[in-house]
Each structure stands twice: as C-alpha cells, then as structure tokens.
C-alpha cells in the first residue's frame, strides 16, 4: 500500500495543534483522543480521522500527486505516537502531570518536525530497523 505523502504531513500538522493544546491546558481527555487517532491510523493510515479530513477538504484543492510513499513506515510512526500519547494520557489522567507533559512534549516534537520539515522520526526509525534486520540476515 502506498500513500500520498502530503496526507501524513497534514495529519502531523493537526497533531501538532492538538498537542500544543494538550500541553497548554493539561487536558488528559484530549491526549486520550489523540491516542485513539494514532491507534486507528496505525492500523490503516487511509482510515485515520485526519486522513478523511485531508481527502475531503485538502486534496480537492491541491489536486493529485504522482509522489507516493510506503505505508509501513507511516504505520510504525503512528504506533510510536500511540505509545507516547498512551503514556501521556495515563500521566495526565492519573494526575502525574510531569509524565504527561514529558511524553506529550516528545510527541509534539516528532509531529512538529514532520509538519514543518517533512522529517518523520518514526519513519526514519522504521527504516533504520529494517536496515539492521537486513544486515543480520545477510
């Protein structure tokens, strides 16, 4: 499966906004909602809520692209985001605010780098892991 690379970047932009709000307000339930978004998108990036928004409102104004990217690195990145935001959600909801802030901040950093510069840390980690696996089997 391949994806329009602008979709995950759009999702990263929305995630950046959500995580700024989480960090500014300490709303654990919003962190939990973002965790659910990550979980859905990790299963299938085309079915994530932000993907639907991208296809409904952004793509018609931008038009199609010939650029494609593999879905596997994006799925891995979404799973990593899920893990970080799950810990952040537990931190906020259990009133261990420092835990929530630290893990939400890591999530914000990763989302911002993807949104602003197209650098997907989770995708890069996925590719590095694959290279290491290939060396072990070679």
Residues 11 and 6: their CA atoms lie apart, in Å, by 9
Whether residue 110 has pLDDT greater than 90: yes
CA proximity to 15, closest of 41, 99, 135, 5: 41
Domain that holds residue 46: 2-137
34 pLDDT tier (thresholds 50, 70, 90): very high
Domain count, the chain: 1
pTM of structure: 0.95
């Amino acid at each position: 499966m391949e994806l329009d690379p602008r979709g995950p970047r759009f999702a990263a932009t929305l995630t950046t906004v959500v995580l700024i709000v989480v960090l500014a307000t300490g709303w654990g339930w919003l962190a939990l909602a973002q965790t659910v978004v990550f979980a859905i998108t990790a299963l299938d990036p085309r079915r994530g809520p932000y993907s639907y928004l991208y296809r409904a409102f952004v793509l018609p104004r931008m038009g199609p692209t010939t650029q494609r990217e593999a879905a596997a690195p994006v799925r891995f990145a979404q799973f990593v985001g899920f893990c970080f935001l799950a810990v952040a959600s537990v931190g906020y909801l259990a009133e261990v605010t420092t835990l929530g802030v630290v893990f939400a901040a890591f999530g914000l950093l990763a989302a911002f780098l993807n949104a602003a510069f197209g650098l997907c840390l989770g995708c890069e980690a996925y590719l590095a892991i694959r290279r290491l696996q290939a060396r072990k089997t070679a």
